[in-house]
Structure 1
Amino acid sequence: MLTTSHLNPHTVTERASGANLRCLGLTKTYGTTRALDHVDIAIPAGQSVAVMGPSGSGKTTLLHCLSGILSADSGSIELGLPERIVNVESLSNEGRAQLRRQSLGFVFQQGMLVPELTAVENTALPLMLNGASRSQAIGYAAQWLASMGLGGMEDRRIGQLSGGQAQRVAIARSQVIDPAIVFADEPTGALDSATAVEVMSILLSATTGRGRTLVVVTHDEDVAHRCQRILRLQDGRIVSDDTRQPNGRW
């Protein structure tokens, strides 16, 4: 199992700063279905939060609105990055795209990796989109892959990797821009239980283990209980909000 110290390819040792996230009165409707119904959440920097609920409860819609992938119908979303405060709902489409590209990390169930690219190219892609040279991006991406236990696999295409290895690539890709917050949508949903435990450990070490904030949508109770806090949604509303105590109890 990888440890936090193994997961930081930087030469510095300072913990990264996480983002504070707050939403008030968040609503989102699809036709006659209200996916989010006046949701209020406050997430402090460095916290890991699992979002759970049955299919159709609004958990993925919530993640997409909080991260600026979707625009909410009403409500406010304030993202407190280390260098500035961003009112996400006030940004244009281009502004939200820039925010995601420069400040947010993402991990999805199927990885959303580009099959035509190698593992190191997939990992380096966010850096190159932000203007880094190919050589710089590839070099830094290779460090992250090595920290994920994928040294020597840089030139493999995604189809040549196992599901767990591909998710490690996705986690590495989410980290290369040094994000203050990472959003993960069912990151272990396509994995067997043993691999899910390993991938979740790596994800937590790469995020909250380094002072970042993590928001995870999951249907897996074991995954959720690895986080510090569990929000449960039903019909677009938060029906419970539980935080793990210092003694490990809920």
Structure 2
Amino acid sequence: MNETTSPTLLHAVGVTKRYGDVLALAGVDVSIRAGEAVAVMGASGSGKTTLLHCLAAVISPDSGSIRMTRPNGSVIELVGMDEDARSAVRRSSIGFIFQDHLLLPDLTAVENAALPLIMAGTPRVDAEHRAAQWLAHLGLDGMQDRRIGQLSGGQAQRVAIARAQVNGAPMVFADEPTGALDSATSTDVMTALLQSTARQNRGLVVVTHDADVARRCDRVLHMQDGRLVGESFAPQQRAEAGSAR
């Protein structure tokens, strides 16, 4: 990633969030550039998941600014949006991956992956065609018609990765995406996630407790008591990513 030329996809300043007497976020500043993978680490209760949910327009902060550049080049302010407006942003510009993938067991892999497009109004045939292309890209060619219970944990998480990106979202967020996987499968899934997001000039933010996952990202943000208390970089990973593109 070339930080001098890569555009900023997400820029947050002074983000705060309080739950009753608990200050979950205490004025956090962070920017994410195109082609950048950022890990967020910290102990339970440090605020990392709250930060992820604010940046991904899942919840609205109490104060601050979060500006996102959409695929059409327009810049929008997420803070202060109501739920309907945030839902529209998530449908068009954001992908989200959960630790337990949260796929629908009664649907096939391709139906699960196509859901964001179908919900946005894309005809089912077109949506499933694009979803099938994503599944093939992620190594699941031939598994499109399998139900989730017929897939391994790693395969199911790849379906979740496809679902998060089928809408062409420039920003992808992942909450402990490898937390339920063994180490070998975790490595494979993280490789697929990096190659399909940051290495394709999207922005990726990963909340993780896994130091191995964090080391594969370009930058690691360390949180404590709702604040960013440190930042580290992985120049070797950036070099490897640059040579691969």
Query: 1:148-159 counterparts in 2 under 5 A?
Result: 148-159=138-149
- TM-score, with normalisation over the residues of structure 2? 0.91
- Deviation of the 1:174 alpha carbon: 1.0
Partner in structure 1 of residue 119 of structure 2: 129
Q: Quick one: structure 1 residues 18 and 180, their matched pair in 2 at CA, closer, same or farther if it must change by over 3 Å?
A: farther
Question: Does residue 184 of structure 1 match 2:174?
Answer: yes
In structure 2, stretches of 5+ residues that fail to align are: 1-5, 240-245
Q: Aligned ranges for residues 1-250 of structure 1 at < 5 Å?
A: 20-82=9-71, 83-245=73-235
Gaps of 5+ in 1: 1-16
Asked if 2 retains the 8 angstrom alpha-carbon contact of 1:119 and 1:158, the reply is yes
The alpha-carbon deviation at position 44 of structure 1 amounts to: 2.0
How far the C-alpha of 1:81 sits from its partner, in A, is 2.6
CA contact (8 A) 2:217 2:237 kept: no
| Alignment partners' CA distance in 2, 1:102 and 1:18 | 19
Alpha-carbon distance in structure 2 between the residues aligned to 1:125 and 1:176: 9
8 Å CA contact retained: 1:18, 1:213: no
What is the aligned residue count?
233
Give the Cα separation in 1 of the matches to 2:23 and 2:189. Answer: 33
Cα–Cα, structure 1 residues 170 and 25, in superposed 2: closer, same or farther, change >3 Å? same
RMSD: 1.6
Give percent identity, aligned residues only.
56
**In 1, are the aligned partners of 2:24 and 2:226 still within 8 Å (CA)?**
yes
Q: 1:125: Cα distance to partner?
A: 0.6
SS at match of 2:193: helix
Give the C-alpha shift of residue 142 in structure 1.
1.1
SS state at 2:235 partner: coil
Alignment check: 8 A CA contact 1:116 1:157 kept:
yes
Shift of 1:18: 7.1
Look up the SS of the partner of 1:91 in the other structure: coil
